[in-house]
Every structure is written in C-alpha cells, then in structure tokens.
Amino acid sequence: MNIITIEYIYYLLGIITAFVAIRVAMNKNHPSRIGSTLFWGIFAFTFLFGKVVPPIAIGYLVLAMVVIAAIGKVKSGDQDETPKEERDKHAERLKGKVFIPALVIPVFTVIGSLTLGKVHFGKVHLVDPAMVTLIALGLATILAYLVAQVLTKAKPAAAGHEGSRLMQAVGWAIILPQMLAALGAIFSKAGVGDVVSKMVGDVLPTNIPFVAVAAYCIGMALFTVIMGNAFAAFAVITGGIGLPLIVHMHGGNPAIMAAIGMFAGYCGTLMTPMAANFNIVPAMLLDLKDKNAVIKAQLPIALILLVINILLMYFLVYNF
C-alpha cells in the first residue's frame, strides 16, 4: 500500500496539459485552434485516464495526435512574452530571491528522494518506493510553485499562462520521447537487435580479441543511435556480441565489459535525434534555430570518447 503514487502526479500533469488545451480553445486568434486543442486535449487525456483506458484505444489516440502534428496543425498561439522592461523591474524588486523557487526544485528533489521512500506506517508507505525520485520531483515542483507564488505575488493564472506558452513553444516534440520508447519496444519485440548482432558477428573477424571489443562498443553505440536508448541496446548487444565473444570466447571480465560497454552506448545517445528528451526537446526548450544543434555540440566528444572506450576496454577487459 502506498499513500502517494505516481498516478497522482500524472493527474496533476493531466490538469496542467488540459489547461493548455483550454487556453488554446479559448484563444480566438490561435493559428490552428482545433488541431492544437485536440492535440493537447488528447495528451491531457492520456495522463488523466491512461490507467483505465485499454492500451489499444490509447494507441489510436496517439495515432490521432501524430496525424494532427504531421499535417502541421499543432502550432504555438501565445507569443506574448513579458516585455524586457517589466522583467527588469521585477528583477530589481526581487533581487536574488527569485532564485529561491528555482533552487527548491533540485534541492527538495534530492532531499525527498533520499527520505520519502523510507517513511512508512507499518505496511503503508507514504510514497511508492519504486517511484520515489519522480514523486519527489513532483512534490518539489509543487512546493517551488507555492514559494514562487508567494514571492512574486503574481496572479494565480500567471503560472498557467506561462506554462502554456512554454509548452506550446516546445510543441509536438513533447511526446517524442514517449513515441521513441514505443518504437524501441516494437523493435525489440520484432527482434531487430538479434538481426543486427548476427550481422556483425557474421561479417567481422571477431576471433581477434580487439575486433570483438571494437564490434561490441561500436555495436552498443550504433544500436543506441537507432533505438535512442542505451538501456535497450545493452541486453541485445551484450547477449549477441559481448557474452559469446568477449567473455566466453576470449575470457574477458564481464564487469569491465558492461561498465565500459554501457558508456559506449551513451556515446551513441549523445549523437542521435532518437534520444529526443536529451537532444531534441532541449533544443526546442532553448529556442535553438537548428534542432540538431545540441547533437552537433556533442558529436566531437561522443566520437572521441567512443574511441577511448574501445581502447580502454581492450586494455582492461582481458587483463583484470
């Protein structure tokens, strides 16, 4: 039994997202009122009722969101950012205090995730221990909102207005991470990974220890680029290349292989638009003109680090 589950936080997300839909619906000057209202409305629905509606219905709703986005009907309506003079005026009044709510989020997320999971009354847990970090983040954000509201003395609608403006600025990319997770699941269900590992094993002379290491690391990076997620790549590539070749054939150390192999996968994460929540959503969030700018900034680090990982693994995995 848990008193606070992640489901409650999802209800809150649903309410915030529904608010965006309502704002769009009420905005007579919105460039694509119907499409955007539907998009944000369906997204809100998935948070509010995702647990009770059968997955297939959600699947078709997601399809509807994709179609709306693909025909260009998800647009941003509120462009009215607060003027610079007004922001400067507030900044002058609040001074450093404006940082307090911003710092409340990380600080209380950490405190919450370290403590909340341990609070229980007999068998009844205060929060779901499996989801403690996310719930802590949720509660910290609510606290930060309250502090911000008190400090700024803004109208209650202001936070909703700003949240709606920023979410519309991110636009349809906001569901990209969830979509890519779904694609990854279908890829693994279809056995795409096995085909890739088998191809690598067939084509390369993996009886040479160095080639086995290089194939494993590059396989991790490449498969992560495809899936957008190093975790998904790990089981596939380790099962297909790592264990049979590095550990069983050449007697490598599995702990070293896993540790460095996962990092090779992360090099892939740094390079791929498929890792949308790390690379594409931030580009939207930071108003970058080039949506691949974050990837371009990371590419040199990722490629060099991949080579370093191969060399490190080659020298370490067979010697310890």
Q: Please, are residues 196 and 215 in contact by the beta-carbon 8 Å criterion?
A: no
* Cβ proximity to another protein, 137 vs 245, nearer residue: 137
* Cβ proximity to another protein, 122 vs 221, nearer residue: 221
Residue 177 corresponds to which amino acid? P
Contacts 24+ apart (CB under 8 A), 66-73: 66/179, 68/35, 68/38, 68/39, 69/39, 69/171, 69/172, 71/35, 72/32, 73/32, 73/34, 73/35, 73/36, 73/39
* Cβ proximity to another protein, 92 vs 123, nearer residue: 92
Q: Please, are residues 165 and 78 in contact by the beta-carbon 8 Å criterion?
A: yes
CA dist 137 and 140 (Å) reads 5
CB of 251 to another protein, least distance (A): 14
* Cβ proximity to another protein, 98 vs 126, nearer residue: 98
* Angle at the Cα of 183 from the Cα atoms of 223 and 212, rounded to 5 degrees: 15
CB of 217 to another protein, least distance (A): 11
CB of 279 to another protein, least distance (A): 8
State residue 74 phi and psi, 5-degree precision: -105, 105
* Cβ proximity to another protein, 60 vs 121, nearer residue: 60
Copy the structure tokens of residue 298. Answer: 């990371």
* Cβ proximity to another protein, 121 vs 290, nearer residue: 290
Residues across the chain: 320
* Cβ proximity to another protein, 38 vs 294, nearer residue: 294
CB of 234 to another protein, least distance (A): 6
Angle, in degrees to the nearest 10, between helices 192-203 and 209-227:
150
DSSP 217-252: HHHHHHHHHHHS-HHHHHHHHIIIIIIIIIIIIT--
CB of 14 to another protein, least distance (A): 9
CA-to-CA dists, residue 229 to 25, 149, 172, 271, 308, angstroms: 36, 37, 20, 11, 20
CB of 189 to another protein, least distance (A): 7
CA dist 28 and 35 (Å) reads 13
> Where in the chain does DSSP place strands (E)?
2-4, 120-121, 124-127
* Cβ proximity to another protein, 212 vs 227, nearer residue: 227
